Every structure is written in C-alpha cells, then in structure tokens.
Amino acid sequence: MKSKILKVLPLLLAVCMTGCGNTPPGNSSPLQTIAPVALQPGTSESPSTPTQEGSDSADPNITPEPTLAPTPEPTPEPTQTPDLGPEPTKVFESESWWLSYGEPGAQAQPRGNAKQSDLSWYGSYYLGSPDEKVVYLTFDCGYENGNTELILTALKNHNAKATFFMTGQFLETAPDLVKRILEEGHEAGNHTWNHPDMSAFTDKADFQKELDDVANLYLEITGTEIGPYYRPPEGRCTEENLRWAKDLGYHTIFWALAHVDWYTDNQPDPQESINLLTSRVSPGAVVLLHNTSQTNGAILDDLMTKWEELGYSFRPLSDLTGP
C-alpha cells in the first residue's frame, strides 16, 4: 500500500501545480485566467459560446467580448437669441446725445438721451452692467496732433485695451499710428470719413459710403477688418441711423462719461479734469476721450490710477457688445 501511495504522489503534485495558477517549470508564459461564464436569468446552463476561428468547437470557458454600440454624438443645442420684443417706436429724446448725472462721487449710472434697454434692440450701447466696476475706454480720432503716443503709453502702463474711433483724415495722415494701435492689441472703430452730421442723412447709400470708405482704407493699411463699432460724430443720430448701422453689421456706441476736451486752443485744466472724471465715473461706463486733447495726453496715466484706486478695471468694447 505504501509503495502505491509513493507512485501516485508525483502525479498529484503535478496536478496541483498546474491547477493553482503557478507557471510550470520550463514555460515562460503565465497560465490564462479564465473568467466564469454568466448564466442567463431563469436558466441552469451556461449560454452557448460562438465557435472560434480555426477550431472545431468553442471553448465553453471563454466569455466573448461584448460588441459595443457606437456612442452617438451629442446634438448641439441651438443658440438662443434673446427676445428683445418689438422695435422701439421712440428711442431718442433729441437727435444729439446728452447725459444727466446724479450726485458727484455717488458712482451712479447717468441717464442718457435714450434708455439702454431701447438701444440694445439695435445692438447699441452707452452703458454696461451696473453691478461691475468696469469702464470701457474709447478715443475719437479726428486727426493726429501729437497726443496719441502719450495715450498709448498710458494704456500700456495699465495693461488696458481701448477702442479708437477713426475718421478718414486720421487714417490718411497717420497710417503708422493706425498700425501701432492694432499691434498693441487695441480695437478700431468707425467714426465716418468726413465727420458729418449723420442724423441729416436720408439715403442709406450715402450713410453707408461714409462707413465703407473708412473700413476700406483701414483694411488697406492694416490687412485687417475694422471692428464692428460705429460712433456718430457729436452723438447726432436717429432711429433710422441705428437701423442702418445694425444692417451693416455695426454696434452704434455712445458714451456715459466725457468732458469738454475737444477745443485744442482752450484745453481744460488737468486737475479739474481728473476731479470731474473721477467724480462722475460709474460701473459699466463707456468713456469718451479725444486723442487730440493735450490734457488727456498729460493726465491719462494718473486718471487711470485714480479709477483703479476706486476699484475699477478696464475692458475692451468686445466684452460689452459680444462678437
């Protein structure tokens, strides 16, 4: 009996080694781990397994990999256009833009010649959100007289971007500055070719030519399309002008803060200008300054510092209007 046990013992050891997940001596490949075959509900036997290619019968111990259905691409939701309601019937209280300010230093948004809610119907702005201490710096560039470089330097000191509204004369006489404005990351707006009273235009073709001539020369100088911003000279505008500008792809841009800086032979006192522009600033204000003003060139760096001390930051018009 003892001798029979000794003869069987090596066989039992071999079975144990190959059935316990060990690698047999002389075989460099590990044994395949076999996953159990899941039973279908209500059955007592394993489901049939498809026959493998090159064999007469399927291995009942190998679970076939499931065929995964392709994941459908999500359908993008359509962009919702805000419902602005019917077109306003009476936007402006007069044809020339004006503002009414509250208590100095209160930082309350001014009342304009039109309601921002009505202007929004045409993609037009003079104000942004009342809840953010942000100002949008804009400069009207009728011509060049030596102050634009000072303005650009001040903007760079504060890492601020502005919009320069250009006329035909500025484009013709200062093409290098036009290129520099673009190169330094600022935006260009359309201030018409001849700086006329646009509220007097009754023909859309004449209105369009004033804008197209500026846009075409700007493209010729820079190789870039002008920004979608239009400012009517002296703020003179009609509802029909707003409609035409919108049809041509422009946002009409007015302002919520300015000072009398355009008389080159009668410039305002620098300190008085700083006091005025800091006492009337308000959240979301579009600021209008002229590049021809010697006072603006002198005070802009200090003025921006004062606004920053009041908690304001500077953003480009594209943040206000959207694309």
Q: How far apart are CA 33 and CA 117, in angstroms?
A: 71
When mean pLDDT is compared across 23-37, 52-66, 101-115, the lowest value belongs to 23-37
Reported as a single tens digit per residue, the pLDDT across 204-233 is 999 999 999 999 999 999 999 999 999 999
Spell out the SS3 assignment of 254-312.
Answer: CCCECCCCCCCCCCCCHHHHHHHHHHCCCCCEEEEEECCCHHHHHHHHHHHHHHHHCCC
Higher pLDDT, 36 or 124: 124
Joined tokens for residue 206: 């004449």
Compare 56 and 85 and report the one with higher pLDDT.
Answer: 85
> Which of 26-35, 43-52, 69-78 is the most confident on average?
69-78
Residues acting as catalytic residues = 140, 290
Which one, of 20, 21, 38, 39, lies nearest residue 30 by Cα? 21
Give yes or no for residue 89 having a pLDDT over 90: no
Higher pLDDT, 67 or 212: 212
Q: Say whether pLDDT at 34 is over 70.
A: no
Q: What is the per-residue burial (b if ≥16 Cβ within 10 Å, else e) of 143-172?
A: bbeebbebbbebbeebebbbbbbbbbbbbe
Total number of residues shown for the chain: 323
Average pLDDT over residues 95-106: 95
- pLDDT, residue 53, reads 40
pLDDT given at position 84: 65
Rounded Cα gap, residues 142 and 137, in angstroms: 16
pLDDT value of residue 74: 59
**Mean pLDDT (the chain, rounded):** 83
> Please, what is the angle between helix 204-222 and helix 175-183, to 10°?
80
Residue 85 confidence (pLDDT): 75
Does pLDDT of 27 surpass 90?
no
Note the pLDDT tens digit of each residue in 161-212.
999 999 999 999 999 999 999 999 999 999 999 999 999 999 999 999 999 9
What are 254-306's pLDDT values in tens digits? 999 999 999 999 999 999 999 999 999 999 999 999 999 999 999 999 999 99
The pLDDT tens digits for 121-140 are: 999 999 999 999 999 999 99
Closest CA to 130 of 24, 237, 260, 281: 281
Does residue 22 have a pLDDT over 90?
A: no
